[in-house]
Structure 1
Amino acid sequence: MTQRIENSPSVHPPRVHRAWWVAAVAALAIIAAGAFSTMPGLLVDPLQEEFGWSHGEISFAVWVNMALNGLTAPFAAALMDRFGLRRVVVGALAVIAAGAALTTAMTEPWQLTLYWGVLVGLGCGSMAMAFAATVTNRWFVQRRGLVTGILTAASVFGQFVFLPVLSWAVDHYQWRAGTVTVGLTSLMVMPFVWLLLRSHPADVGVKPYGSQEFVPKPPLDSGTGRRTLHVLCAVVRTGPFWLLATTFAICGASTNGIMWTHFTPAAHDHGMPVTVASSLLAMVGIFNVAGTISSGWLTDRLNPRWLLGSYYALRGLLLMFLPAMMGPTVQLPLVAFVVLFGVLDVATVPPTIALCREFYGEDSAIAFGWVLAAHQLGAGLVAFGSGVARDALGSYDLVWMATGALCCAAAMLAAIIRRPEHDRKRATTIELASSGASR
């Protein structure tokens, strides 16, 4: 009697490897979550007008959102190991849809913090870049840098695709129409995730893409939280983790923290219409896709340390000069800023994930989750601090220049990320032995 064995490689592999379908539906879920990161900048002015809330009160909810987003990521990576990608992602989409729906009924600042800060933050954190790293590590052996770039670009794609639509909806139908739109988007994605997303190639009897051998599914780990904390205790003893976490915190500060949260109100302060400012941010998102995918391709071929250093240095210079480019109309220097910043915005992700993989191997997804936590904490602190600074100074100019200086510091830190000495000696020994055996 013939019995089908689920956890064995397929005899006739499909023309399109299943890994690409998994990557596609993962990208769809990330796009839905990415739409939520565009909303805070569109909510600042409407919430001030309707409720009289200050920049600081609104930015505090954004800080909570980003902080929980980051702190959830490493535990979400471990939960995916325990319960599977499909269950965790569907649950996360349901939570953020609920948070978006409840936000439409709020009347107090603490409710914005609870609904948008806590619920949406937890849900989006479960589908953050650690999710992309998990999918890439499990389903791909080849093209990892490229796939990382594509999944990272998916988040940005969600931002720039939804931003003009949300901006128009807020402008014509008030801010509640925007939150309902992103909530419904999450609900629409859920069936696709449930039908197509799988946790491991062994679940459908195929090899990871590019692998010459079938990889059995690892046993379930019941100690999800324990493993996450164990990985944290291990990585904090290494120098590369602190360098990666610090540079990525500055990355978050200079993107989600200041750019995606405060660019629109800052441009509005200079007399630019909100819809025009939102369109510029959408352009940033368009060039994000090209920059991130290109960065993934370069990460497969060049030293990721030097890529990081270059990205941060150029980003810092752009931010320092941004206040001089602001005005009521869009001029050529501001267009050049949008293009260059877009190329650099999320380009840091593929080399950072590659370095985590180099240093931490099988634990790299969880290690990157902790690095991502630093990213979101940095983003949240700067988002909150920028709102407070705007209330106190009446301008964002000083914040732009200070954030640019931080990026220049991150460039210097990226250049000194090095593999521990004993690991370098071991790698050299292995390479020499391999070359001797080939002769």
Structure 2
Amino acid sequence: MQGAQPHWSSRLPFYYGWVVIGIAFVTMAFAVTARTAFSLLLPPLITEFGWDRALVAGAFSFGFLVSAITSPIFGRVMDRHGPRIVIGSGICLMSSGLILASAIEKPWQLYATLGVLVSAGANLTTYTAHSLFLPNWFVRRRGLAISIAFSGAGAGAIVLLPWLQTIIGRDGWRTSCWVMGLLVLLVVGPLTLLLRRAPEDIGLVADGASGSADAAQSRGKSNVVDPAWAAVDWTLARAMRTSRFWWIALGFFCALFAWYCIQVHQTQYLIEIGFKPLVAAWSLGIISVVAIPGQIGLGALSDRIGREWVWMAACCGFAVCYVALIALQHAPSYPLLYLMVGSQGFFGYAATSVMGPIVVEIFEGPHYGSIFGAITVPLVGGGAAGPWVAGVVHDATGSYRLAFLLAIACCAVSAAAIWIAAPREVRLVPGRISTRGAAQESGV
């Protein structure tokens, strides 16, 4: 009948991009928390077994190292088969690692379960995996959409981390591993069946609005700044022959070194300098909660001002966090604790919202997954090196101070590296397109 409204099902594809973001949000809530919980497990593991700090933290680092080696493989799998295979595999690895961890008695079992299985599983279900395909779904609001998905980590942390700490205190760390393993398997597992690699797989285009790219072109507002670069069919081999690839790799390595250097050791450090275990656990959770407005706000801002500015803000956030941590050792106080939490969470965690966009805006194309997978090797390598180096430094000197100073230096190097990689010189973010279009129309 003429004038009749279309059936609701005909509009379902329009919203599918946001369905994908919602699934990513839930996945991040559980998977990131399962990995972050290693910080809560560190004190009881050291207490029960009497192992060196570097040995225990090394399990986390070893798992990251294994993840780094296998990342390029899963990048290619993502390009060919999509996120259901990759993320589904990660869920199986993570849940089995957590459940088997409840039987740990020897160091090799710690490394095999909480190290390899959980870290590798997290690599396939959290920031890295989602950065392989979420950028395909959004162009105009890429930073905002990805930041909303990644803010699920904060939502999960504020609920799950204190709850897990309560289980550890009441029933033991082994029970907490069982509980978290079952949650990952039963809650996240079924949702992965709805994921798709790109909107084209179900007849859509990015942002869920057909013709958006053509419309931008017709207005003379293409986001391409360097047509010659953008015209290249970027394979992994071609990308690795460019300096931009290696500057991104360096920037990501240093940022993840700073990130996980403190994330793994934070609970133990805060307890040692005088804070109660539950306060330390809440601090870890609140960091992820503070990250929610930071990721969303700064992710959206990156769509306006550029990815480099937000990346630099994230690096500055981690640097301020380490300054506060060093000061806390000499003068433990809640104002300094709040500064550490706010700078690390609100600014530092915002780095995740621009990781994928930085790479895709330089090397956009059908081989993006393989390229990002290769860049994941140094990215995850930095996450592996940070906790291990901090543990070794503490065992050798009795203090984290030198490790924290090294992390501050890494923040400065990371910020500089992404500016040199310069995604802005290949493709403009939407806010810059509008500015350039207005300038062209006014004859400037």
The TM-score range, normalised by the shorter chain, is 0.7 to 0.9
Match of 1:346 among 341, 349, 368: 349
Match of 2:327 among 324, 329, 335: 324
One-letter identity of the residue aligned with 2:151: A
Instruction: Label 1:24 to 1:422 Cα distance change in 2 as closer, same or farther (>3 A).
Output: closer
Matched, 1:366 2:366: no
CA deviation string 1:376-399 (max 9, x = no partner): 211211211111111121121222
Matches within 5 A, 1:235-384: 235-256=239-260, 258-326=261-329, 330-362=333-365, 363-384=367-388
2:307–2:358: 8 Å Cα contact kept in structure 1? yes
2:393–2:400: 8 Å Cα contact kept in structure 1? yes
Instruction: Label 1:195 to 1:241 Cα distance change in 2 as closer, same or farther (>3 A).
Output: closer
Matched, 1:117 2:120: no
Q: Structure 1 residue 72: deviation in Å?
A: 3.6
CA deviation string 1:135-181 (max 9, x = no partner): 32333343211111122222343334321111111122111122112
Which residue does 1:86 correspond to in 2? 84
Q: Structure 1 residue 329: deviation in Å?
A: 5.9
Instruction: Label 1:130 to 1:269 Cα distance change in 2 as closer, same or farther (>3 A).
Output: closer
Q: Structure 1 residue 343: deviation in Å?
A: 0.8
Instruction: Label 1:422 to 1:383 Cα distance change in 2 as closer, same or farther (>3 A).
Output: closer
One-letter identity of the residue aligned with 1:123: G
Match of 1:390 among 379, 390, 394: 394
CA deviation string 1:237-292 (max 9, x = no partner): 11122221111111111112x22100111111112222111111111111111111
Match of 2:48 among 47, 50, 53: 50
**What is the root-mean-square deviation of aligned Cα atoms in Å?**
3.1
Matched, 1:414 2:418: yes
Q: Structure 1 residue 209: deviation in Å?
A: 2.8
In 1, Cα distance between equivalents of 2:323 and 2:80: 45
Structure 2 stretches of 5 or more lacking a match? 1-7, 214-233
In 2, Cα distance between equivalents of 1:118 and 1:80: 21
Which residue does 2:125 correspond to in 1? 127
Instruction: Label 1:206 to 1:231 Cα distance change in 2 as closer, same or farther (>3 A).
Output: closer
Q: Which moved more, 1:37-46 or 1:294-303?
A: 37-46
Partner SS state of residue 146, structure 2 = helix
Q: Which moved more, 1:179-188 or 1:407-416?
A: 407-416
Which residue does 1:4 correspond to in 2? none
Question: What TM-score, normalized by structure 1, do the two folds share?
Answer: 0.84
Percent pairwise identity: 26
Q: Structure 1 residue 326: deviation in Å?
A: 3.8
In 1, Cα distance between equivalents of 2:197 and 2:421: 32
2:302–2:309: 8 Å Cα contact kept in structure 1? no
In 2, Cα distance between equivalents of 1:313 and 1:357: 24
In 2, Cα distance between equivalents of 1:209 and 1:407: 33
Length, aligned pairs only: 408
Matched, 1:403 2:403: no
1:309–1:411: 8 Å Cα contact kept in structure 2? yes
Q: Which moved more, 1:413-422 or 1:23-32?
A: 413-422
In 2, Cα distance between equivalents of 1:278 and 1:349: 22
1:67–1:377: 8 Å Cα contact kept in structure 2? yes
Structure 1 stretches of 5 or more lacking a match? 1-9, 216-229
One-letter identity of the residue aligned with 1:109: P
Partner SS state of residue 10, structure 2 = coil
Partner SS state of residue 304, structure 2 = coil
Q: Structure 1 residue 423: deviation in Å?
A: 9.6
Instruction: Label 1:414 to 1:191 Cα distance change in 2 as closer, same or farther (>3 A).
Output: closer
2:30–2:156: 8 Å Cα contact kept in structure 1? yes
Match of 1:157 among 150, 155, 158: 155
2:75–2:370: 8 Å Cα contact kept in structure 1? yes
